[in-house]
């Protein structure tokens, strides 16, 4: 039963794409209802798993055997995939309903839904894969769909460059993924997870480095992060689906999948920890002074991803997974409500031009408030059940102190920028033109947000009550450590509100250095996006023209030889060039010699 | 010594004198140089045919190869001289240019 139900889940959305009735309007509704039914059906295996704690592996179709490597279509239904699939389906259902309202006036809305559906299918393939080849197919699939969806409005150059950026940064990560696959197939002769975990090799640093690079590319860690804020060029449903809940989770998910190997390798754990800590601090700093609401939320996603990496780095993959699931809810909700604000203010994305929406858009403002509170880990909302255990475990484990401090600072900054969004978008006097009509009455807008609000409040409780903890958490700790997460969050809130209230009417003539650092995303995109192409282009120019043509063909032998000979000859010789005299003397001496001999 | 050899050696000596004694043009010296090479070639060829030593028939061919290179070098020198002076008069060559 488990097998059949999970396969039906995967095929239900696929049948919708196969029908291909692009002209009719009911394609949208059939897609949405297909996803709804898929969500309902996917709850069945999940609940079965919750009741029996029995994992399942389905190995269906033997594709090919390359010498001794057997490749088949296999699905792994364990805690991670069974918990994540209903969540992904639920969020996709809400987003599809939302985009019925948001993309209503778009002539290619059928294609948009097809792309969203394809994305969902590839994400499910990625999540349920049991061997690395299938996971790689899902991985590439989500990369391609991300490219297509970010450049949805492809007439705009910024959208095209952002999509290209996403593709290139993902590709750099893919190099690591392929290296990992190659290592596994050479040393362990298999791409199946069971075999990899059973043999438990001792020298796994190299493939895990590849895995870390792949996750850094997919999940926008520091060094490969600029694509995520740029990816906000896509429509808001795309940002909500891809870049908040599902795609950027793919990297962290794969890292979580490999936790049996990472448990034994302390180097990789330290690397993950430091990378995650740097990411979370850096992106939180950048998010503090951005003015585009979607960029703030995107950088917030990146910061939370860094937090998940930190959790994996302290060897708590299950906590990271729970945080991933809960984060999906409130981040998608934040994106949807920002989409509602943007559309209602007539496509205004700058928070300096919003304000006073607290009274005019009550549902959206409650959504943002609840989402921000859940994000910062307010007690007993969703984020609390995942974020607080992370901070507690980090405080109590044998950890790099610097990484821990940075993570705590980033947590307080989370509160700061969330307060900033609320302050600028919702409170105060309106700063938008007064003729824009604000209307929240469409059920397609309101129902998804309401569902996600319910999810944000209750899901943390449900998930943590129904899962068996795989590692025992620390129960006793000194009170100052126990309250650390709450304390830094409250610190962030209060500092942000104070600063916002005090400086609301100030204007500086020239922004300070820290401010420009933060606004230009740490100068990172500006420098690297120019330096790398410049270096490779100058290197190729040097190789082609200078080295090949001018040095090797012209100067090396011909010109060098001529100059050398000329200087040598003019230095050495002291002739006067009297040719006839020399020849005559030669003739005379020859004849004299002959005469004497004869 | 057979008369034919003396004949050709005489041709060689005349060309040699022509190379060493010339009036004003450098190209006449080069021309007589070619004459020297021609007589040497004929001498070698006739010698290897008359003595019936088949292995030495390659010597005139090698001589031809080197003669070609040498003629090319001589002409290149001529061209450089006439690039600087415009003519190949011998009395120009004492100005120690290039």
> Is residue A64 within 8 Å of A71, Cβ to Cβ?
yes
What's the total number of domains in chain A? 2
Domain that holds residue A569: 529-597
Most confident of A159-163, A313-317, B59-63: B59-63
Shared-domain flag, residues A502 and A572: no
Q: What is the pLDDT of residues A368-420, one digit of tens each?
A: 999 988 888 888 787 788 888 888 888 888 777 888 889 889 989 999 999 98
Q: Is the pLDDT of residue B32 over 90?
A: yes
Per the model's pLDDT, the better-predicted residue between B92 and A352 turns out to be A352
- B2-90 topology per CATH: Helix Hairpins (1.10.287)
pLDDT band at A68 (very low <50, low <70, confident <90, very high): confident
- Across the interface, whether the CB atoms of B20 and A583 are under 8 A apart is answered yes
Classify residue A522: in a domain, yes or no.
no
CA pair distance A302, A124, nearest whole angstrom = 22
Neighbour count for residue A443 (Cβ, 10 Å)? 11
- Nearest by CB to A577, from B17, B20, B93: name it: B93
The sign of the torsion formed by the CA atoms of A91, A94, A95, A96 equals positive
Q: Of A567, A580, A582, A590, which to mutate for an interface test with B (greatest number of B Cβ within 10 Å)? A: A580
Q: How many CA atoms lie within 13 A of B79 on its CB side?
A: 6
- B16, B21, B93 member nearest A584 (Cβ): B21
Q: If you ran DSSP here, which 8-state letter would residue A103 be given?
A: T
CB-based contacts of A187, cutoff 8 Å, min separation 6: A201
Question: For residue A473, what is the DSSP state?
Answer: P
- For A81-106, write each residue's pLDDT tens digit: 888 888 888 998 999 899 888 888 88
Please, which pLDDT band fits residue A316 given cuts at 50, 70 and 90? Answer: confident
In angstroms, the Cα distances linking A90 to A1, A34, A43 are: 22, 12, 10
Rounded to the nearest angstrom, the gap between the alpha carbon of residue A475 and the centroid of all alpha carbons in its chain is 33
Of B17, B21, B94, the CB nearest to A578: B94
- What pLDDT shows up at residue B34? 94
Mean pLDDT of B52-67: 94
Decide which of B60 and A547 is more confident: B60
Show the tokens assigned to A112.
């948009």
Angle in degrees, CA A410, A414, A415, rounded to 5: 125
Question: B93 and A587: CB-CB below 8 Å?
Answer: no
Query: Best interface-test mutation with B: which of A562, A568, A579 has the largest number of B CBs within 10 A?
Result: A579
Which run of H or E residues covers position A71? strand A69-77
Q: Which residues contact A489 (CB under 8 A, 6 or more apart)?
A: A376, A377, A378, A411, A412, A414, A415
Q: With an 8 Å Cβ cutoff, is A579 touching chain B?
A: yes
The whole-angstrom separation of Cα A327 and Cα A83 is 14
Report if residue A202 sits inside a domain: yes
Residue A576: pLDDT over 90: no
Q: How far is A547 from chain B (nearest CA, A)?
A: 29
Asked if residue A303 and residue A367 are part of one domain, the reply reads yes
Query: Would the pLDDT of A535 be above 90?
Result: yes
Domain boundaries, chain B: 2-90
Q: pLDDT by residue (tens digit) across A103-154?
A: 888 888 888 888 888 888 888 888 888 888 889 998 998 888 888 988 888 8
> Which chain A residues contact residue B17 at CB under 8 A?
587
Pick the residue with more confidence: A407 or A475? A407
Residue A362 pairs with which residues in a beta bridge? Answer: none
Q: Confidence band (pLDDT; 50, 70, 90) for A475?
A: confident
Q: Give per-residue pLDDT as tens, A190-224.
A: 788 877 777 777 788 888 999 999 998 888 888 88
* Structure tokens that stand for B87 in this block: 């003519």
ipTM higher than 0.90?
Answer: no
Tell me, letter by letter, the H, E, C secondary structure of A158-207: HHHHHHHHHHHHHHHHHHHHHHHHHHHHHHCCCCEHHHHHHHCCCCCHHH
Quote the CA–CA distance of B33 and B71 in Å, as a whole number. Answer: 9
Say yes or no to pLDDT of A21 above 70. no
Does residue B75 carry a pLDDT above 90?
yes
Distances in Å between the alpha carbon of B69 and those of A369, A397, A566, B64? 93, 85, 21, 9
* Helix A247-257, helix A132-150: angle, nearest 10: 160
The pLDDT > 90 percentage for chain A reads 7
Cβ of A580 and B17 within 8 Å? no
CB-based contact, A580 to chain B, within 8 Å: yes
Q: How many CB pairs under 8 A join A and B?
A: 28
DSSP A427: S
Q: What is the pLDDT of residues A562-571, one digit of tens each?
A: 888 888 887 8
Question: How close is the nearest chain A Cα to the Cα of B3, in Å?
Answer: 20
Q: Are residues A459 and A586 in the same domain?
A: no
More confident residue, B35 or A501: B35
A586 at B interface, C-beta within 8 A: yes
Residue B48 is predicted with a pLDDT of 93
Contact (CB<8Å) B17/A587: yes
Residue A178 pLDDT grade (very low, low, confident, very high; cuts 50, 70, 90): very high
Task: Note the pLDDT of residue B61.
Answer: 95
pLDDT at A23 over 70: no
Predicted confidence at residue B1, as pLDDT, reads 66
The residue ranking higher by pLDDT, B92 or A324, is A324
Q: Mind telling me how many Å the CA of A526 is from chain B's nearest CA? A: 55
Burial of A283 (0-12, 13-18, 19+ CB in 10 A): buried
Cα A122 from Cα A138, distance rounded (Å): 5
Q: Indicate if A28 and A138 belong to the same structural domain.
A: yes
Measured CA to CA, the distance from residue A139 to residue A131 in angstroms comes to 12
The answer to whether A191 and A66 are in contact (CB under 8 A) is no
Half-sphere exposure of A267 (CA within 13 A, CB side): 8
The reply to whether A584 touches chain B by the CB within 8 Å rule is: yes
Is A159 within the bounds of a domain? yes
Residues 6+ apart with CB under 8 A from A36: A93
**CA A566, CA B54: separation in Å to the nearest integer?**
45
Q: How many helices (H) and strands (E) does chain A have?
A: 26, 2
Contact A583 B21 (CB under 8 A): yes
Sign of CA dihedral B84, B85, B88, B94: negative
Are A175 and A297 contained in the same domain? yes
Chain A residues with CB under 8 Å of B9 CB are: none
**Mutate: best of B30, B89, B90, partner A, most A CBs <10 A:** B90
- pLDDT(A456) > 70: yes
Last-in-domain residue among A507, A540, A565: A507
Average pLDDT of chain A to the nearest whole number? 85
Distance from CA of A596 to the nearest CA of B (A): 18
Interface with chain B: mutation pick from A566, A570, A577, A595, highest number of B CBs within 10 Å? A577
Task: Please answer whether residues A550 and A558 qualify as being in contact, where contact means their C-beta atoms are separated by less than 8 angstroms.
Answer: no
pLDDT confidence of B62, banded at 50, 70, 90?
A: very high
pLDDT, residue A425, reads 86
- Inside any domain, residue A369: yes
CA A306/CA A248 separation, integer angstroms = 11
Helix (H) or strand (E) holding A119: helix A109-127
- Cβ contact, residue pair B22, A583, below 8 Å: yes
C-alpha to C-alpha distance for A218 and A215, rounded to whole angstroms: 5
Same-domain pairing of A450 and A378: yes
- Closest CB to A584 among B16, B20, B96: B20
Contact call for B93 and A584, based on CB within 8 A: no
Q: Minimal Cα distance from B23: which residue of A? A: A580
Label residue A19 by pLDDT band (50, 70, 90): low
The CA dihedral of B78, B79, B81, B86, to the nearest 10 degrees, is: 120
**pLDDT of A573 strictly over 80:** no
Contacts of A580 in chain B (CB under 8 A): 21-22, 90
Q: Of all helices (H) and strands (E), which one includes residue A73?
A: strand A69-77
The set of residues, in sequence order, having a beta carbon less than 8 Å from that of A457 and lying 6+ positions away, is A370, A374, A381, A382
B21 closest CB neighbour out of A575, A576, A587: A587
pLDDT of residue B43 exceeding 90:
yes
For tokens 């362990």, the residue is A188
Residue A438 φ/ψ, nearest 5 degrees = -105, 120
Note the pLDDT of residue A3: 65
């Amino acid at each position: 039963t488990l097998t059949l139900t999970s396969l039906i889940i995967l095929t239900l959305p696929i049948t919708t794409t196969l029908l291909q009735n692009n002209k009719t309007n009911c394609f949208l509704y059939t897609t949405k209802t297909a996803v709804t039914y898929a969500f309902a059906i996917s709850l069945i295996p999940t609940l079965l798993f919750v009741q029996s704690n029995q994992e399942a592996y389905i190995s269906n179709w033997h594709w090919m055997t390359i010498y001794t490597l057997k490749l088949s279509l296999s699905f792994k239904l364990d805690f991670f995939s069974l918990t994540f699939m209903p969540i992904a389906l639920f969020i996709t259902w809400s987003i599809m309903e939302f985009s019925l309202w948001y993309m209503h006036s778009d002539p290619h809305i059928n294609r948009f839904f097809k792309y969203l559906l394809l994305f969902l299918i590839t994400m499910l393939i990625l999540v349920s894969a049991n061997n690395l080849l299938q996971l790689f197919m899902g991985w590439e699939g989500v990369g391609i769909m991300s490219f297509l969806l970010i450049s949805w409005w492809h007439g705009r150059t910024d959208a095209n460059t952002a999509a290209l950026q996403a593709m290139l940064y993902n590709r750099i990560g893919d190099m690591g993924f392929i290296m990992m696959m190659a290592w596994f197939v050479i040393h362990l002769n298999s791409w199946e997870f069971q075999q990899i975990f059973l043999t438990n090799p001792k020298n796994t640093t190299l493939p895990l480095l590849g895995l870390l690079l792949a996750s850094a590319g997919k999940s926008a860690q520091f060094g490969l992060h600029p694509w995520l804020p740029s990816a906000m060029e896509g429509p808001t449903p795309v940002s909500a689906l891809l870049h908040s809940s599902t795609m950027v989770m793919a990297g962290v998910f794969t890292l979580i999948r490999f936790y049996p190997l990472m448990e034994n390798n302390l180097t990789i754990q330290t690397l993950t920890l430091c990378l995650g800590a740097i990411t979370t601090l850096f992106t939180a700093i950048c998010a503090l002074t951005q003015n585009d609401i979607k960029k703030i939320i995107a950088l917030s996603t990146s910061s939370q991803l860094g937090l998940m990496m930190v959790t994996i780095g302290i060897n708590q993959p299950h906590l990271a997974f729970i945080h991933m699931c809960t984060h999906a809810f409130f981040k998608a909700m934040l994106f949807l409500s920002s989409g509602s604000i943007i559309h209602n203010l007539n496509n205004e994305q700058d928070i300096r031009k919003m304000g006073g929406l607290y009274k005019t858009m009550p549902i959206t403002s409650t959504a943002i408030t609840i989402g921000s509170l859940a994000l910062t880990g307010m007690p007993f909302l969703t984020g609390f059940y995942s974020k607080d255990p992370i901070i507690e475990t980090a405080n109590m484990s044998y950890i790099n102190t610097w990484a821990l401090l940075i993570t705590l600072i980033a947590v307080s900054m989370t509160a700061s920028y969330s307060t900033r969004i609320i302050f600028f978008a919702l409170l105060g006097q309106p700063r938008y033109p007064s003729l824009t009509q604000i209307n929240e009455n469409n059920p397609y807008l309101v129902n998804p947000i309401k569902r996600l609000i319910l999810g944000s409040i209750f899901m943390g409780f449900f998930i943590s009550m129904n899962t068996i903890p795989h590692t025992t958490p620390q129960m006793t700790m000194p009170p100052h450590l126990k309250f650390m997460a709450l304390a830094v969050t409250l610190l962030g809130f209060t500092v942000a509100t104070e600063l916002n209230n005090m400086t609301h009417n100030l204007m500086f003539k020239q922004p300070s250095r820290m401010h420009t650092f933060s606004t230009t995303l740490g100068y990172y995109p500006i420098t690297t996006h120019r330096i790398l192409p410049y270096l490779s282009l100058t290197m190729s120019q040097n190789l082609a023209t200078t080295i090949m043509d001018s040095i090797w063909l012209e100067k090396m032998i011909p010109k060098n030889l001529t100059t050398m000979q000329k200087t040598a000859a003019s230095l050495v010789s002291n002739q006067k060039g009297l040719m006839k005299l020399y020849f005559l003397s030669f003739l005379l001496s020859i004849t004299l010699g002959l005469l004497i001999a004869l | 010594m057979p008369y034919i050899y003396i004949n050709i050696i005489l041709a060689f000596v005349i060309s040699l004198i022509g190379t060493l004694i010339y009036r004003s043009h450098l190209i006449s010296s080069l021309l007589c140089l070619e004459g020297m090479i021609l007589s040497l070639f004929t001498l070698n060829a006739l010698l290897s045919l008359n003595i019936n030593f088949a292995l030495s028939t390659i010597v005139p061919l090698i001589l031809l190869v080197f003669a070609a290179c040498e003629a090319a070098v001589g002409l290149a020198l001529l061209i450089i001289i006439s690039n600087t002076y415009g003519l190949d008069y011998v009395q120009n060559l004492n100005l120690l240019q290039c």
